[in-house]
Structure 1
């Protein structure tokens, strides 16, 4: 019997196509539902269904999305529904209501759970209530880092569903290496971007306040005072970020030593010109994919001490961790790496082995495949969640030891 997994996400769901392809290679039938364009999925031979929701609010739109997802699930009848991102994690369980096993992956906690703004704090009780309601129809909740799992337990957001730790959505190492090998030379990229011989600090992120971009801009000014020959590259979308977007006028104020490139499809190549990768997020991240890409490229990292970042960056090993919203600390950490290139290069090299060992797409896909099969074959709805969670981890240990319990 071929098990059918429907994977539900948001507008950047195409980033998970390698994960979906890895599931397919393990014998699953895979389809996807998201709010973005269909072309990347059709190019990969993945059945795709578009639905609509507004990630900035809009209760009416959310109700319509629930209806669309309910109709979709009734029509294609998958064996398992897998969700990613804050709103799909809430909307899909409300749409399915226990008819089909749902696995929710908490890949970050979103603005409501990350921000200390009064508006976010005001929304938080409603979102906590929605999380508890969604948990009533959730078969398993996957966490990408331990801190998020602890948060859900503390606020009793799991219901009766077991918690499973699977770090990240995985990174396709072969595809990343191929993209790097086929990329233009670093000299060509430097010429294209007008960088000359300047040192480069790069970030890949949505250009929002919550991702720490204003803090990075302030840090850039501090770094430039000490080392004038440093350029900062901001890679990622701004216009699509609605009320959270950083004002373009603020970015322009720091030109020409700060360059906003917009969204790019050649991030593996761009990482080849970076001396330091900066990730100043104020979000509770899952496991940030961009940190895995920077690590795989061997670039030393400066990130904020937020959930998810510490799963990739180890202080004074492969980079630095600094407090969020602290431009002076961020600047000091960046300068520390720029001032000792040999040490910085050594630190960056340590990330390569870590990413290949812990976050390889094949490792992650195997863990999800184990979970899906366990849910189907054991009839999750009638099992004690503690037993299911224990069995999942036991199966993983057996497979890792050649079929024998350690």
Structure 2
């Protein structure tokens, strides 16, 4: 039995993306402390129901104030000592950096980190890099250079992240394991081929780097061309610069460009009624969970040939890869699947098979838990 600190950012992300891991760790007999920065009574109760202990702490997810980050560091040192943590498991950029350093300073004997994509700072927009972006990338890389060597294991989700962050920057890590994805509960997604016109679906944050703008532009073009297709958008409006807001969504709905149902609790039902999942992202993804879910639901996938996204598609087998920032290529790919619906069904079946092979959360969790197991002192 180990006291494990699972250190992330938001409670919703922990419940949405770590619930299965928490349950598996608890089933192994470990005491799991779930660290998040925004607990409510509802999310705290949900974490407790999984068998873990909710631990609130302060973290500024996107802030650049070093004093706030120092406060986070000091608070984590105190909390790790208070709960006598045996193993820290940190994921997402700031928790990996400051959580791992805090664990080292607190004397936590075992430390693990998980890189789930390189994120916004490593994302290069169509307009190219800026001096500010290059500076922030350099600073974050230096912080990783301090934190990652403190870990006994670093998990990544795709080979590009290991190459671009760790190898290219000569960051010394003891062991790096490529998980290929965070995994999903396959039983939550049952393949089903709906009748009627081809339905394309976008699921994700409505941010420019996630490709929502390209999806909408492609939908407009295909509408103008008279394509027999429907276009569904799932995702919450975002306040970030360049994001699609609620009034813009309403206008697109009134124009007949997209169907937008607002906030939904069961994404699986909408995937079940769709044929093709589209993610024209240029964000430095790990491996998008939304794409893993769509594959488990038996959808063909159209996504970009960029790190993280390209791991989910074998081109012309379970979907199509397109270049980032290329709306013409995106339209051509979508038009191809409208024209050949039998190909769409074939790709969907292949997606499900790949999801069973690569993204079963039980298989991925088994790899993680095996890596977290303490070494047998009697082993030669």
| 1:14 corresponds to | 15
Task: Report matched runs for 1:66-215 at 5 Å.
Answer: 66-97=73-104, 99-100=107-108, 101-115=110-124, 116-118=128-130, 119-156=132-169, 158-177=171-190, 199-215=198-214
Matched, 1:48 2:50: no
The whole-number CA distance in structure 1 between the counterparts of 2:267 and 2:251 is 25
Q: Is the 8 A contact 1:276 1:338 kept in 2?
A: no
Task: Report matched runs for 1:235-384 at 5 Å.
Answer: 235-239=234-238, 241-243=239-241, 245-255=243-253, 256-374=256-374, 377=376
Q: Is the 8 A contact 1:135 1:157 kept in 2?
A: no
Evaluate the alpha carbon distance shift between residue 361 and residue 317 of structure 1 in structure 2; reply closer, same or farther with a 3 A threshold: same
The whole-number CA distance in structure 2 between the counterparts of 1:25 and 1:244 is 43
Structure 2 stretches lacking a partner, 5+ long: none
Answer with 157-166 or 272-281: which moved more: 157-166
How many angstroms does 1:377 deviate by?
4.5
Q: Is the 8 A contact 1:204 1:234 kept in 2?
A: yes
Q: Is the 8 A contact 1:112 1:120 kept in 2?
A: yes
1:88-122 deviation per Cα after TM superposition (whole angstroms, max 9, x unaligned): 11120122225222211111110001124414223
| 1:194 corresponds to | none
What is the number of residues matched between the two proteins?
363
1:351-398 deviation per Cα after TM superposition (whole angstroms, max 9, x unaligned): 111111221111111111111115x557xxxxxxxxxxxx9xxxxxxx
How many angstroms does 1:244 deviate by?
5.8
How many angstroms does 1:229 deviate by?
4.2
| 1:219 corresponds to | 218
- Of 32, 45, 58 in structure 1, the residue corresponding to residue 34 of structure 2 is 32
The whole-number CA distance in structure 2 between the counterparts of 1:51 and 1:263 is 28
1:48-100 deviation per Cα after TM superposition (whole angstroms, max 9, x unaligned): 11223222224233222222222221111222111111221112012222522
The whole-number CA distance in structure 2 between the counterparts of 1:262 and 1:104 is 35
The whole-number CA distance in structure 2 between the counterparts of 1:93 and 1:5 is 13
TM-score, normalised to structure 1's length? 0.82
The whole-number CA distance in structure 1 between the counterparts of 2:64 and 2:240 is 13
Structure 1 stretches lacking a partner, 5+ long: 188-196, 379-390, 392-406
TM-score, normalised to structure 2's length? 0.88
Matched, 1:3 2:12: no
The whole-number CA distance in structure 2 between the counterparts of 1:155 and 1:370 is 28
> What is the SS of the residue equivalent to 1:149?
helix
How many angstroms does 1:4 deviate by?
2.5
Q: Is the 8 A contact 1:56 1:242 kept in 2?
A: no
The whole-number CA distance in structure 2 between the counterparts of 1:237 and 1:77 is 38
The whole-number CA distance in structure 1 between the counterparts of 2:346 and 2:320 is 13
Q: Is the 8 A contact 2:317 2:350 kept in 1?
A: yes
Q: Is the 8 A contact 2:61 2:94 kept in 1?
A: yes
Q: Is the 8 A contact 1:111 1:120 kept in 2?
A: no
1:17-57 deviation per Cα after TM superposition (whole angstroms, max 9, x unaligned): 11211222233332211124324312323211122322222
Matched, 1:23 2:30: no
